[in-house]
Structures are given as structure tokens and as C-alpha cells.
Structure 1
Amino acid sequence: MNNQRLLNIQNGQNFRDLGGYETTNGHHVKWHKIIRSGSLANLNHHDLQLLANIPVTLDLDFRAPEEVKRSQDHVPNTATYHHLPVFKSDETDASHSDEEIADRMAQAGNGYRHMLDVYRRMATVETAKAAYQEMFRLLLENNDGATLFHCTAGKDRTGMGAFLILSALQVPMETIKQDYLLTNEATYDFRHNWLQMLRAEGESDTVVENRRALGSVSLDYLQQALTIIKNNFGDVDHYLTDYLQLTQGDLTDLRHQYLE
């Protein structure tokens, strides 16, 4: 199987392999072991077969219960499904219609401010803590095949998960940020067409800009989480051990399992 960052998924967004990234001590993340993505709800036969061929053996779903109920995953036949809701409801607005959040979108800057609050909460609320703790437990247990983790758009709850995993594997922060921003490139066509449609429907510049802020990632968003982590735990390493309660043995095992 080819080592490629962006997977050739036909009916899904933002499917990316985290393999190949170099760590601070010269190791590399193994290919075909850790995959981040958007929703699996619309995958076709080609997509499911591609994931089964890897093979994906764990499907970790970070979406809220109502998102799952509305659009259930199409799970590859090689994988076991686990629901790990980061929030009790979809605070990212990735699954909400324009009508559902119309009032919020009418005020300039609300999209940006909302995303800052989402990242603050992902770093602090108990549901997120429990979800990411379980993510690491399952990663440590998955000795065969790949772990795929996702939310709806594959950018925020999934982006936080990728940040935590790559940090635990000692991938440099600059590389982690580059992977995080790759969402904007991977979803460019979809977002561009969506925003053009909003303009064609007569939405104001304020609404379009707020929706752009909700539909993309920004280093400001990730920095919000990093600032919370630094202020409360000193650095990401202590966040992993003191907050998410990973032991040094867990970290050693994780690196042995996912690095080469």
C-alpha cells in the first residue's frame, strides 16, 4: 500500500494518514496505523474497501449523540466501532444548519469567538477528558491494524485528538501545526463552493465570514488550547501525564508501538 497523506476517499472529507512525521529524536510515525478523518456516514463501497485494505480495525467517533443518531457511521467490516463523545452536543456547529445558528452568525466576529471557546472547552471539560483518555487506551490496545478517529468535519475534535497523539509521540510542535492546518488545504474545494453558495443565496458578508471561521481551522484556535494547557499544567507533556493520566510506561509503549 502506498504511503500517502491524503487518502483517496470518494464520499468523505479530510481522510489523512498521520504516518511519516519525524519525531524530535529522529524516529518516524508508522504509516497505516493512525488515521484522522471527517464523517464516515456517506462512505461508499470503494471507500469502505480502501479502509478495510489498510486495515482499519478501530473506528473512534468523537461526535455528540445527536450527530451519531442523525448520521451513523458506515464502518469498515474490519473495524470495531467506539463512540467517544467529546461534547454532549455538537458545540463545533459542524453538523448544524444555517437556520439553527442564524442569530449567532448575524453578529460580526461570532464565528471566530465561538471557535476559541470550543478549543478552550476541549482542553478542560470532563467529556473531552474522558474521550481522549479512552482514545489513548484504545490506541495502546490496538496491536493489529490502524486506528481511525473522527468527528463530523475532521478538524476540531479530531484536530485536538491528532495534536495530543502527535505530542505524545514526540513530534515537534511545528510539524503538529502543519498537520493541523492541512485541513484547510484538504477541504478547500468543499469550503469554497459552500461559501460561494451562501453568497449566491444572498447571505451577508458577516454571515459568510462567520461561517468561514466555523468551517476552517486557524492557529489561533489551537493556540487557545495550548494557552489553557500551559497556564494550568506548564506544558503538553504534563497535560498528558497529570491531566489525561498517561503514565511514563504508557508513553513508552505508545512510542514503541507507533514509531519506527
Structure 2
Amino acid sequence: MEPMLLNIHHGYNFRDLGGYPTTDGKRIQARRLIRSGSLDRLSQRDIDFLHQYGVRVDVDFRTQDERSAKPDRLPGSARYVFDPVFSEDKTQVSKSWAEEQKAFALDGQAGYHNMLRTYRDIVLSDAAQKAYRQFFDLVLANDKDALLFHCTAGKDRTGMGAVYLLSALGVDEATIRKDYLATNQYMAQAVAEVIAQAKQAGGNANMLQGMHDIWVVYPEYLDAALAAIHETYGSMQQYLSEALALSNRQLTTLRELYLE
């Protein structure tokens, strides 16, 4: 099935995970689990939409600097939870033009390799594991409403949050990969704008390639994360059990809460 895109006018990559099938013949309930990009640009109409959609918990995976620069706009009915995956934005999508120019102008592969390293950190760093464990605690405590989780672009920290969550709910690997890669479809306009701005500001070919590579997702990014999981823990289920400390009972509870 195709991802369920929400009708948000001033934000991107807002998707309901509802409808995805599991390997035991069930489906994720709609209006329960929402992944998205940042919420700082939302109009009042968008905020009202999220309220009507039932969003009552907003989990922010961004850093302190990111949220201070672009604080979330959300319904008054929604509880905000700051849950940073990193102490600094290693994806670099929130970096300034000057910072990105310095990092990428000399090497057209710098952005790509930065993302490969970042995905291993998302899997293996203590800070990221603690953040995703807190995320699961919030998901487990959400018995009837919609929970939204996001970072800046809604593709890396959010993307891996979705990978872990869909895996815990019993969604097959092909569907999880398709959901992960769907970001490129929903971010196409934003990526084009970023590249156009960089080009207008005088970015060279290396710079433009690096910018592109940190604003899209490649299969290799997810593969780097999955390789780190299998090398260190043996399997995704072992990762959920050991790194994120999810018990069999909690996995059962997740499926009782979110599947139909």
C-alpha cells in the first residue's frame, strides 16, 4: 500500500502509519502514529487539522539548538515531549549555509559519507538508544490518541524511529523499506528549493551534491543502520530487546494498542 500523506499545507513529510499490514494478517490503526518533518512552519489551519486528527502527543527528536531556532507550533491539546536523538544535528540538514559550504565544497561525497556515519550513530550511540527507548515508553503510554514524532526533515531520526516502531509491530522488511524511501517523493519540492538556494548563493558542484545527499534518503543509509544492528546485535528483534530494552510483554502491548 502507499503511505498515507496528511493534508498539511505548511509542512512536509506528514504521514500516518495506519494501514500498513503486519506479517500476522493485521493492520496498523489509522490516526494513531504520525511521522513528520518539523512543525515550525505550520499555519493555524494546519494546527487545527492536527487537533481534529487527534494528535495529543508531539515527540521532538531534534537537538536543543534546532528546537530553539524553530520551535514547534502545535495544538494546545497536544503535549510536547523533547526527546533529542543527538546532542547536535549530525544529519546537517539544519546547518547554516556557511557551515555547509565549509563542510561540502571540497568533496562531493562528503554529504553521503556523513550520512552513512550518522546512521551507524543512530543505531549504536548511547544517547540515541536512550531517546528511542523514551519514544517507546511514550508510544506504550498512548492508549487511544494520535502520537506524532518528528525531527527537522522527518527522514533520518524520524525515519529510524519508524523503522524500529514498524519492526516492533510486526511489519515486514519490504514495507518498512518502502515507507523509509517514500521520503524522497514527499520531500522533492523541499529538496529542489534547498538546491536552488545553494546554487544561487554560489555553491559549487561538490556543494550541491553534498546538499542533495543530506536532504534525501538512499537505500544505503538504511542499509548502514541495518548492518550495524546485525553486526552488533544479530537481528532487529535482538536490537529491540537488548539496545532498546523492550520486553516480550511490551511488544505484545504495542500490538494490542495499535493493530486491528
Give the match's secondary structure for 2:175.
helix
Q: Does 1:249 pair with 2:234? A: no
Q: Does 1:80 pair with 2:79? A: yes
Give the match's secondary structure for 2:124.
coil
Task: Quote the offset at 1:10 in angstroms.
Answer: 1.1
Q: Which range moved further: 3-12 or 208-217?
A: 3-12
Paired amino acid for 1:17:
D
1:69 aligns with 68
Deviations 1:24-70 (A, max 9, x none): 11111111100000111111111111100111011000000111111
Give the match's secondary structure for 1:104.
helix
Q: Which range moved further: 101-110 or 30-39?
A: 101-110
Give the match's secondary structure for 2:58.
strand
2:3 and 2:17 in contact (8 A); partners too: no
Give the match's secondary structure for 1:82.
strand
Give the match's secondary structure for 1:101.
helix
Alpha-carbon separation, structure 2, partners of 1:103 and 1:48: 37
1:118-129 aligned at under 5 Å gives the runs 118-129=118-129
2:224 aligns with 224
Alpha-carbon separation, structure 2, partners of 1:194 and 1:4: 24
Task: Quote the offset at 1:206 in angstroms.
Answer: 1.1
Deviations 1:60-84 (A, max 9, x none): 0000011111111112122111000
Paired amino acid for 2:157:
R
Q: Does 1:99 pair with 2:90? A: no
Task: Quote the offset at 1:94 in angstroms.
Answer: 1.4
2:61 and 2:83 in contact (8 A); partners too: yes
Q: Does 1:258 pair with 2:258? A: yes
Deviations 1:238-257 (A, max 9, x none): 00011110000000000011
2:188 aligns with 188
Q: Does 1:24 pair with 2:17? A: no
Task: Quote the offset at 1:112 in angstroms.
Answer: 0.3
2:160 aligns with 160
2:140 and 2:253 in contact (8 A); partners too: yes
Task: Quote the offset at 1:205 in angstroms.
Answer: 1.4
Q: Does 1:213 pair with 2:219? A: no
Give the match's secondary structure for 1:67.
helix
Question: CA RMSD, aligned part only?
Answer: 1.3
Give the match's secondary structure for 1:58.
strand
Q: Does 1:59 pair with 2:40? A: no
Alpha-carbon separation, structure 1, partners of 2:200 and 2:103: 20
Aligned length: 258
Give the match's secondary structure for 2:149.
strand
2:171 aligns with 171
2:3 and 2:182 in contact (8 A); partners too: no
Alpha-carbon separation, structure 1, partners of 2:190 and 2:66: 20
Task: Quote the offset at 1:154 in angstroms.
Answer: 0.5
Q: TM-score, normalised by structure 1?
A: 0.96
Q: TM-score, normalised by structure 2?
A: 0.96
Alpha-carbon separation, structure 1, partners of 2:101 and 2:198: 12
Alpha-carbon separation, structure 2, partners of 1:114 and 1:60: 25
Give the match's secondary structure for 1:120.
helix
2:3 and 2:179 in contact (8 A); partners too: no
Alpha-carbon separation, structure 1, partners of 2:3 and 2:90: 31
Q: Which consecutive unaligned segments of at least 5 residues does structure 1 have? A: none
1:37 and 1:153 in contact (8 A); partners too: yes
Give the match's secondary structure for 2:34.
strand
Alpha-carbon separation, structure 2, partners of 1:89 and 1:191: 22
Task: Quote the offset at 1:4 in angstroms.
Answer: 7.3
1:14 and 1:183 in contact (8 A); partners too: yes
Identity rate, percent: 40
Deviations 1:172-231 (A, max 9, x none): 111001000111000111212321332344321111111100010111001101000001
Paired amino acid for 2:84:
P
